[in-house]
Every structure is written in structure tokens, then in C-alpha cells.
Amino acid sequence: MTKKQGMRSALMALALAGGLMATAPAHAEGTLTVSSPQDPGSWDPVDTFLVNWSSVATNIYDGLTYRGPDTKLVPGLATSWEELDNGTRIRFHLREGVTFQNGEAFNADAVKFTFDRLMGDEGKKGPQRSNYAAIKSVEVIDENTVDMNLTQPDPVLLTKLAGYGAMIVPPKYIAEKGEDFFNAHPIGTGPFKMVSYEPKVGVTLEAYAGHWGGAPKLSTVKYRFISEPSTAVAELQAGNVDLVIPPTIPIGMIPTIQEDENIDVVSTASPTVYALRFNTGNGITADEKVRKAMIYGVDRQAIIDSILGGQAAPIASFQGDLSFGIDPEMKPLPYDPTKAKALLKEAGVAPGAKIQIDIRGNDATFNEVVQAVASYLQIIGLNATIKPYETNVLLNDIIPAGKTGAMFQQSWGGWTLDYDNTAYFMYHTGEKWNPYDSDPDLDKLLESQRAITDRAKREEILQSIAHYTADRALEMPLYNLNAIFGVSKRVKGFVPVPDSRLRLTEVSVD
């Protein structure tokens, strides 16, 4: 038995054992139980970038715009909008009669408060502010109309307003309760209200009957934070969980899950990409030759074929096929261990040189992938060790502080389906996900495309950024992974979304 087969067998056995040991499921009518792999730690929209935040919070909050599973942008809390002054002012006409879940009225003042807060001192504490850097001010025209004044046109702004930092928050509630209270007791205008939150354990949402779009079909949604994939699958098999969301399902367990007559595996195209990014600041990976050698030295297509079971596609840059800015003619560097060894020799790297690869410890599939990567690197003369971290520690403490090893896992949802949302955060000087690199030429390219409304010209610049970063070998691009859900057959009306931003309004259960 190979090491990979042994790992898969162990995971399957653990899942099956979990199913046998689990207690008999008990469902309140209208209750959906969801397994999510991560507790985001704060429910404030300005505090986060995490997909697992959005899979919950998309049900709590609304934005001015909304993008659903079909990826089309439609009205949200704004019923319509118009671009004025050559794209430097957007006038939003707001939905009337909307209330927050505590009864507070939604109006133009709430919109202004939300964006003043995002662009002010509170927003400075979180990672979202630079995503909305084009916003200069929000002006109240009347109770149901606001003007968003921009420093320059932003061709992606309307999409950005559909998620994360742009979710509309209640001014009076935050003023009365304070920021810390709001972090753990969020209030929005969405179809579900959070009624309990136990850190590291779970969240309970209840239907908000007063939602402007109508009451949800479910009465209750319970999210359980289950970081261990085999445990999540075992709970799904036992009937204690109805829905397991990405990226939890280990690829190797899909056949076992599919054998269960009570469960479906649902897969859809996704913008989510995986890479091993390089420490370009110090150590042997500060040398571009070494970085390219490591890319040449890993057969990524073989990893996709052998480990990912057809649920992924190779990538040449840190974006997938759904991304605006991808160059379909761009090809990944080929597997060439001979060239890899030659480059390492040119760089003066001694055989057996040690490197550390930092990963999220709860991602079983990626754990298999990175073990394969380490084996390939061994072949070209590098001694790679793998260091797993608890996800929040890696994302909040290790990467932003520049404390990683030579390589570190980066998975990115690219939820705007626009390469800017990935590239600016990964490569611009001073950004949270770019702790090591500073490239003035790259900064200029990244900044220049943000104000261009000519779609073809902007696409050309984004494609040039993809080529530039690949030429500098800032990461080892690995693959574009499908969004894979495990779904109990008692769940009705579930539509898989490419970006894990689940809106559960139309879902019901038997």
C-alpha cells in the first residue's frame, strides 16, 4: 500500500467509525445543520477576508448589490444605481421599508455610516479597506438616496459591494452596544439573525420573518465548526450534519460518500486556486533561480491526476478560468527535474538544503498534495519538511508577520471573479498577504488598472501582471479546485455556489 493510499484508508476508516459511534440524529422541523471548517473569530464585515465568514454572514447581512450562484450582479439594498461624472460618482436608490433584525431602520444614514466606518479608523484594523480604496466619501442626498464619490473609477466596485467589507451595518446598534459586542452579536438586514455564537463550537441562526425578500423556508440554521475533515464526513454520514461546505471534503473520500444512499456529492466550477507562495525576503527562496527550480521540479499535473480525481485543473498564474484577467494562452512551467537541478547548481544551493513548507493543518487533501510536493523536491536535492498550523494562526499570525518558512500555503477564493481582487492583495507592497516582496514596477501595474473602465485595456494589463508575477516566480501555482459539497438528501432547493457564499433563503429540509 502506498503512503497516499494508506492516508485515504485511514481517513475512510475514521469516518466510518465516527458514523457507527454517533448518536441517532434528531432534527427540529425546518432546521439545517451545516459543517464549516473554521470559526472566523469576528462577525464584523470589516474584520475579515475569510470565505468561511461569508458562508455564514451572507445570510446575516445584505449589501447594496447581490451576486448569486449564477454569478450575475443584481439589486440588493439598492434597487438601482447610475454612474455619473465619468464614473467618479455612483448614485444609489435605496430599497424602502427595510429594517435591521433589531428593528432599526435601514436608510441612507446607515449606508453612509457603513462606509465612513470601513474607510475610517475601524476599517484600518482589518484587511478589507484597500479593496474599497476608490471610495472618497458617501453623501446622503435624501433618506433613500446616496451618492458614492470616488477618487477614480473602479470597474469592480459594484461587485465588491456585494460582499465582505461592504455589508451594511446598523449605526444605532453599534453606537449603543460597542464594537466588541458587535463582533460577537452581529445585526444585519439579511434573512437570518444570529441568536447564539459559541467560539470554536458553532453558530445558530433563526429566520428573520421581516426580511425584505420574504421569510426563509428554514426556521433555523446551525453551523458547527468542525476543523477535522474526517469528523465532518462522519457526521454527515451519521445524519448529524446536513451540509458540508468546501474545502472540507477530502477528494479521496468522495467514492465512499457516494456509496451512501442518503448523501449526494455536488461539485461546481469555482474561482478557488491553490499555490505554495515563496518567501522572497530571505533564505534560498530569495533567489529567483531557486524559486523557478522548485517549480520545474514538481510535476503538478501528476498531482492533479493522482490525488485530486478530476476535481481540479492546472493553473499558470494565481487565478482560474472564471477570473477576468486570465490569459488562456499562458502555460504553466513544465515538469523538468533536469533543468531544476541545473538551476539549483547555478544558484549555489548545496544538495540536501533544508526548506520548510507551512500549511493549514486541517486540510486533508492539501496535506496529501504538499507531501507529494515535498517528495518531488527531494528528487531535485532539497530536503523539505512540512509544518502544519491551526488555520487562524497561520493566516493571522504567521503569514502577515513574515514568519513563514521557504514556502507557505495560499488558497484564495477570488470571489469577485476579477484578478485584481487576488493580485492586488498578493503582490502590492504593504498588503497583508505580501509580507516579503516590494516591487515598484509591479505596484504601478496593479494601481494603473484599477482606474481603467476600458474593459479590453484593463484585461491586457491584468494579463501582463499574471505574466510578470510568473516570470518572477512569486509562487508555485498548483491548481484551480472545484467547489465540492456533501449534501444530505433531506436537503431540498440547495444550489451550489462557486464562491461558498451560501444564501440559504430557498433551502428547505424534509
How far CA 426 is from CA of 333, 370, 437, 445, 465, in Å, comes to: 20, 21, 10, 13, 12
How far CA 39 is from CA of 35, 42, 199, 301, 499, in Å, comes to: 11, 8, 7, 33, 17
User: Torsions phi, psi of 407, nearest 5?
Assistant: -135, 150
Type of residue found at 203: V
Provide the grid cell at 150: 470616488
pLDDT at 353: 98
Q: Are 476 and 238 in contact (CB under 8 A)?
A: no
Q: Which helix (H) or strand (E) holds 56?
A: helix 51-57
Kindly report the CA angle at 351 between 348 and 357, in degrees rounded to 5? 95
Q: Strand pairing partners for 383? A: 354
The burial class, CB within 10 Å (0-12 / 13-18 / 19+), for 331 is: exposed
Tens of pLDDT along the chain (510 residues) come to 443 444 343 333 333 333 333 333 434 459 999 999 999 999 999 998 888 899 999 999 999 999 988 889 999 999 999 999 999 999 999 999 999 999 999 999 999 999 999 999 998 888 888 889 999 999 999 999 999 999 999 999 999 999 999 999 999 999 999 999 999 999 999 999 999 999 999 999 999 999 999 999 999 999 999 999 999 999 999 999 999 998 888 888 899 899 999 999 999 989 999 999 999 999 999 999 999 999 999 999 999 999 998 899 999 999 999 999 999 999 999 999 999 999 999 999 999 999 999 999 988 889 999 999 999 999 999 999 999 999 989 999 999 999 999 999 999 988 899 999 899 999 999 999 999 999 999 999 999 998 898 999 999 999 999 999 999 999 999 999 999 999 999 999 999 998 888 999 999 999
State how far the Cα of 309 lies from the Cα of 332, in Å rounded to an integer: 20
Length of the chain: 510
* Among the listed residues 428, 474, 459, 499, the one whose alpha carbon sits nearest the alpha carbon of residue 133: 428
pLDDT at 29: 58
State how far the Cα of 164 lies from the Cα of 81, in Å rounded to an integer: 20
State how far the Cα of 189 lies from the Cα of 488, in Å rounded to an integer: 29
pLDDT at 4: 40
Write the DSSP assignment of 274-310 as a string of letters: EEEEE--SSSGGGSHHHHHHHHHT--HHHHHHHHSTT
Type of residue found at 214: G
State how far the Cα of 173 lies from the Cα of 109, in Å rounded to an integer: 13
pLDDT at 415: 86
Q: Are 365 and 252 in contact (CB under 8 A)?
A: yes
